[in-house]
Structures are given as structure tokens and as C-alpha cells.
Amino acid sequence: MRRIGVFVCHCGSNIAATVDVKKVVEMALLEQGVVHAEDYPYMCSEAGQSHIAEAIREKQLDGIVVCSCSPRMHEATFRKCAEKNGLNPYLVEIANIREHCSWIHKDMQEATEKAVILMRAAVAKVHLNAPLKAGESAVTKRALVIGGGIAGIQTALDIADAGYHVDIVEKEPSIGGRMSQLDKTFPTLDCSACILTPKMVEAASHENITIHTWSEVEKVSGFVGNFTVDIRKKARYVNMDKCTGCGICQEKCPSKKPLNEFNRGLNNRSAIYTPFAQAIPNVPVIDAAACIKLKTGKCGICEKFCQAGAIDYAQTDEIITQQYGAIVVATGFDTIKLDKYGEYAYGESKDVITSLELERIMNAAGPTKGHLERLSDGKAPKEIVFIQCVGSRCSDDRGKPYCSKICCMYTAKHAMLIRDKYPDTNVTVFYIDVRTPGKNFDEFYRRAVEDYGVNYVKGQVGKVAPQSDGSLLVHGVDLLENKQILKKADMVVLATAIEPNSDVRKIATMLTASIDTNNFLTEAHPKLRPVESPTAGVFLSGVCQGPKDIPETVAQAGAAAVKVIGLLAKDKLKTNPCTAKADELRCNGCSQCAGVCPYGAISYETRQVNDHGIREDRRIAVVNSALCQGCGACTVTCPSGAMDLQGFSNRQIIAEVDAICR
């Protein structure tokens, strides 16, 4: 029989205000094997821990239950405390009576009853806990950054500067990401490319950074410190070593139909292309779907004109496999599709555009060479209406429930730039709220209103109706004046909500990193671990974690880099001893567990077993405990229950359930 001590924490009033802690102590003493129980205001404090230490010594405890907060908070604290006092740390169990109980209940009697049940379950489990010993695993001192936008670039630069090698994987032909598509940046109005391209160049020339563009992560296996990643380098059809970036191929290419993705499909590009002038690497790719040579075998014009002989139509996708210690996700965002917003006539009229499209129109390298003009007739717009929160802060399923955070500021920027460059153009902004928290942000917005005469109208737009004369009739409402507004506009700009890049789900699944209902990657803790994924060794940088602007993205990118550096600086990591183990007498050798193991930790051997006197050679599963991460997939697959997870055995879990149902 175990000698178990139960320690009930008040957590100030966090627990004690809702749970009768004295009652929990009293009930604990009635449990089998419990020889000590006490409550204390802050169990995690030095003094609280000394109570535990004293009880271990005086009552010879060999099992401890702490009824307190989530094990994610203080399990490590109490395990260390036990270890320091000569008890195996895995003989400590936490009953979460805060997050799972006091915080979510109001009625003291009910909450106390539940706290007692949770305590009982933990006591039942600790009876079956076995001492476990953590092993060690090595750390591969190389990081992978998925996404080559400003977030990925900054993270890579910071890690590389600390002396560790970083690979950036970017699915587009060039690094740069969304920021490379922007014209000016708020609140300083400096040119986006002018501040981004130096960082791109720095990343490209850094001795510790390898950039894989036109590449995608194909497969991830392993775990913190020891990831193995397959990267698909898509066929570029251009030899990167030979190409000089002269651009003659793009000039001569006869296939000029494909939509230019970089310009948001507002104009066309050639089948062989670099997305923009400052692209890194400055080596074009051939769009196989549009290339006449690759489709029909006839053409070959680019090859003929390429003096460097860099064109290689025979190139195929290449898979490179690389080991990493840490992975940073920096997959960024895209604007949402507007097909559910028929009322704004986007797609119906060429003069209804998204803000990102306006960004390209305003840019000197854009489809209109930077001239503000209507895409329908090329005329200069005299009345422009901006509509805010298109798909953001949306309560139905057409859009997103969250605030996209950047729209208020970039709309103020657009409005200001237009008023500055085209003073005879009127700008009206329909908004729900103007949100400008950020250094120099509100000042910026006020300049747009006060100095540049931008007309802000609090209210939403119900309809944009294209008129026969080519104009757009905007049906809006002014909530402050409480009146309907009908406004004729030449151009309507939609502040379209942003959402995580569509690839993020695939990547999150490969990394077993969790994502929320909006497909943003989840942090390990929303306040205290904002740049870490709950999956060890996976870190978050930029908008993949939540909407943010450039300064915030760069700050978070640096923070993620620091976490990576902290991990890579270690030579060894302690491994989790809660790994799977096969019972040789029950194992059928059926290989189902090996099939579901995401870490390749299970192999088979034929060995002689002695099954109650019968000796026979059997095929038995063997778990490599260095590779096993204790996910438990094998234990639920095993039909005979031969596979069990140490520290979370079937018996322990059944004992907990039985205690709860008692």
C-alpha cells in the first residue's frame, strides 16, 4: 500500500473562494492509502513546498497528490520538489481543481464535490504510478523557418546571427512575402520595399542562412531537437547556378496570359517569370501550366535566348531531407475570398477592389505603374469610398469573428496618400470603429482626418450598386447623423479581412501543432508563451499566430528566434519518460501500432517468450524510447492492450475513471 500525501492549494481565493478546501482535506483522509492531507494558501510558494518536503520526510510518503492549478502551470515545480526530497518525480500527480473546477463553477457545494472527485481520481492513479527516469536526446543545431516573409526573414536573421544555421522554405519563387507587395508602410510612410529589400539581401548573403524558394515542406517527422523534414524543391526549369537574372527570357516568352499573382491578378505575366524586380533569388521560374514548351513540346524560345544556357525543361521536383532542432512557422496570411459578399459588387465591377489590390495600383511597379486609375476605363477616380471591416468582426459565417487589426491603419494611410497626391479626389471612409492602438498610430489617423480632410463616416455600407454610367452608387448609413447616405463613387476599396495562409492547416497537421477555429496557430500560453506552439520545438512568428502589423511581426519574429536560440544552445534535452512499452505476453505482433506511430519508434523482433511455461518464438513490438513521444496512438490501436503508456497506463486511467464513477 502506498503512503500518499494530499496537498490542497487555496491559490489565494482562486480556488478557496469556490472550493471548500478544508472539506477536500477531510475527504482525502478517508481515501485508501492517504496518510497525510493538508491545505495551504499557496502550495507553489517556497513555504508551501517546504510543507510537502516535511511531510515526505516525516510521514515517509511515496506518493503525492497536489490539488491545485493545471499541471501545465506547476507540475514541474512539484515534481522538482519531490525529487529534491528523495521521491521519484513521477510519483507526483496533480488534481486540477482550479481551471477544471473553481474557475468554471459558481456553486461552492458543487465545486467542492467535484474537487473531491478530482482528488480521488488522482489518488487512485498515484496508487499505480511507477517511478520513471527521464532519458536524454541530442539537439540538432539547425533551425527551419517555414515562410520567407518579413516574419520568417527576421526570425532567420536573428537565429543566424547567433551562430546557428537556418533554412528558409518559401513556396513562392522569391522571399519577401506580403510586405514586398505593399507600397508604403504606416505610420511612417516609408517605402515598404526600401526597408524590406535590405533584409532580404542580408538573409540571402548570410553565411548561416540557406534559402529554398519555390519549395514546400512535404513531410515532418521526429520531435523537439530532432526533426527530420522533407522539403520539396519544385522544378524551376531554370538552373539557379547558371542564370544571370538578365530577364531576356521573360521579355521573349510568348505566353503572356497567366495572371500576375504578385499584382493580385490585376495584370498578366509571362510563363517564365520572377514575381518582382527585387526578387531574391533573381532567378525566374517557369509556370508549367502556362509554358508552351512544357505543354506541347514546341516553343523553346527562352532557351534559345538564354545566353547563360540556364533553361532546363527536363528539371524535376527534388526532395531534400534535412535534420532540424527547431521549426518556426511563419506562413503569414492572405485576404479572405469575397464570394459571400455580393452586396459590395466585388467581381462585378472592376472598380471595386481590395486594399491589397489598391496597394499594387499605388505601387510604381504595379499594373498601372503607380497611377491611381480606375481599372475599368483608366480614368482618374474623383470620389473614392473605403469600406472598413469587410469580413472582419463578423457575427455570421460569411466572414471572420476577429478584428483584422491592420485595416484601420492602412486605410488611413491609403486615404492620406491619395489626398496628398491627388488633392482633387475626395475620400470617404465608412467605419464601425477606428482602432489605432500603437505607437504614433492615433496621431497618424488624426492627420488623415485633420490635415488631409479625409471624410470619416461612422456606419456601414449595405450595398454598392454599379451604375450604367460606370459609377458606383454606395448605399451607406451615417450612424452619428442617423441618416441614410447615397454616395456616387468612382472607386470602392474594401478593407478585406485577413486570414491565415491556406497552407497552414496542412503544415500544422504535419507538425502536430494545434490551430484554432480560425486556423490561426495556437500559442502554448496566450499570455506567457505567445511565440511557442504547444508542440515542443515548434515556434510561431508573424500573422500565422494572429493578425498583426509589421512592427509587431518583427518583434514577435525576434522573440521566436530567441526561443529557438535558447533551445539550440542546449546540447542535450531531457526526454519524457512517459513512453510506450509492449507487454510481450500480450503482443500479437500484428504491426498495427507501427503503422500508426508518427515517430517511427516501433519495430519488431522475433524472440523467445515464456508464456506461463510455454516457450515459443514470437514476433513482438519493441519501442525505441528515445524516439517515442508518448502520444499514445499505439495504445489505442492495440486490440489486445499489450501496448501501454508508462505514466498513463490503461490501468491508471481506468482506476481514475472508476474513482470518478464511484
Partner 1 sequence: MQELMERAKELLASGEVARVLGWKKGENDWDVEPRFFESVDSLQDFVYDGFCGANLSKYMIEAGKKEGKTLVFLKPCDSYSYNQLLREHRVDREKAYIIGVGCKGKLSISKIPFDGIVSVQGASYPDVSENLTVQTLYGTQTVAYKDAMLERCHVCKGKEHVVYDELLGESTDTVDADRFAEVQRIEAMSPEEKFAFFQKELSKCIRCNACRNVCPACSCRKCVFDSTAFNSDQKANTTSFEEKMFHIIRAFHVAGRCTDCGECSRVCPQGIPLHLFNRKFIKDINNLYGAYQAGSDLETKAPLTNFTLDDAEPGVGRG
615 binds partner 1 (CB under 8 A): no
- Least Cβ distance, residue 510 to partner 1 (angstroms): 8
- Least Cβ distance, residue 147 to partner 1 (angstroms): 18
The one segment of 119-127, 281-289, 344-352, 507-515 that binds partner 1 by CB under 8 A: 507-515
The one segment of 20-28, 36-44, 332-340, 512-520 that binds partner 1 by CB under 8 A: 512-520
Sign (positive or negative) of CA dihedral 407, 408, 413, 414: positive
AA identity, residue 319: I
- Residues in contact with partner 1, shown as a per-residue x/- string from 592 to 611 under the rule CB under 8 A: x--xx-x-----x------x
Q: Is 577 helix (H, G, I), strand (E, B) or coil?
A: coil
Closest listed residue to residue 36, CA positions, set 9, 61, 70, 16: 61
The one segment of 166-174, 319-327, 389-397, 637-645 that binds partner 1 by CB under 8 A: 637-645
506 binds partner 1 (CB under 8 A): yes
Among 32, 50, 608, 640, binds partner 1 (CB under 8 A): 640
570 binds partner 1 (CB under 8 A): no
Helices (H) and strands (E) in the chain, counts: 18, 32
Q: Which is nearer to partner 1, 450 or 616 (CB)?
A: 616
316 binds partner 1 (CB under 8 A): no
Sign (positive or negative) of CA dihedral 275, 277, 278, 279: positive
Query: Strand 461-466 to strand 63-68: parallel, antiparallel, or no bridges (unpaired)?
Result: unpaired
- Least Cβ distance, residue 222 to partner 1 (angstroms): 16
Q: Which element (helix H / strand E) includes 154?
A: helix 150-161
- Find out whether 387 and 361 touch, Cβ atoms under 8 Å: no
Distance CA 361, CA 376 (A): 13
The one segment of 157-165, 336-344, 504-512, 523-531 that binds partner 1 by CB under 8 A: 504-512
| Total number of residues that touch partner 1 (CB under 8 A) | 32
Binding positions for partner 1, 418-437, rule CB under 8 A: none
589 binds partner 1 (CB under 8 A): yes
509 binds partner 1 (CB under 8 A): yes
- Least Cβ distance, residue 480 to partner 1 (angstroms): 37
- Find out whether 230 and 215 touch, Cβ atoms under 8 Å: no
619 binds partner 1 (CB under 8 A): yes
Cis check for the bond before 401: say yes or no (omega within 30 of 0). no
Please classify residue 596 by burial: count the beta carbons closer than 10 Å to its beta carbon, then call 0-12 exposed, 13-18 middle and 19+ buried. middle
The one segment of 271-279, 554-562, 571-579, 586-594 that binds partner 1 by CB under 8 A: 586-594
588 binds partner 1 (CB under 8 A): yes
105 binds partner 1 (CB under 8 A): no
The one segment of 104-112, 164-172, 508-516, 523-531 that binds partner 1 by CB under 8 A: 508-516
- Least Cβ distance, residue 323 to partner 1 (angstroms): 22
AA identity, residue 195: I
380 binds partner 1 (CB under 8 A): no
Q: Which is nearer to partner 1, 314 or 614 (CB)?
A: 614
Q: Name the DSSP class of 392.
A: S
Closest listed residue to residue 153, CA positions, set 501, 554, 619, 531: 554
- Least Cβ distance, residue 618 to partner 1 (angstroms): 8
Query: Strand 92-96 to strand 580-582: parallel, antiparallel, or no bridges (unpaired)?
Result: unpaired
Q: Give the count of beta carbons closer than 10 Å to the beta carbon of residue 470.
A: 14
657 binds partner 1 (CB under 8 A): no
Among 483, 505, 525, 574, binds partner 1 (CB under 8 A): 505
Query: Could you write out the three-class secondary structure of 224-268?
Result: CCEEEEEEEECCCCECCCCCCCCCHHHHHCCCCCCECCCCCCCCE
Length of the chain: 662
340 binds partner 1 (CB under 8 A): no
Residues that bind partner 1 (CB under 8 A): 505-506, 509-510, 515-519, 583, 585-592, 595-596, 598, 604, 611, 616, 619, 637, 639-641, 650-651, 654
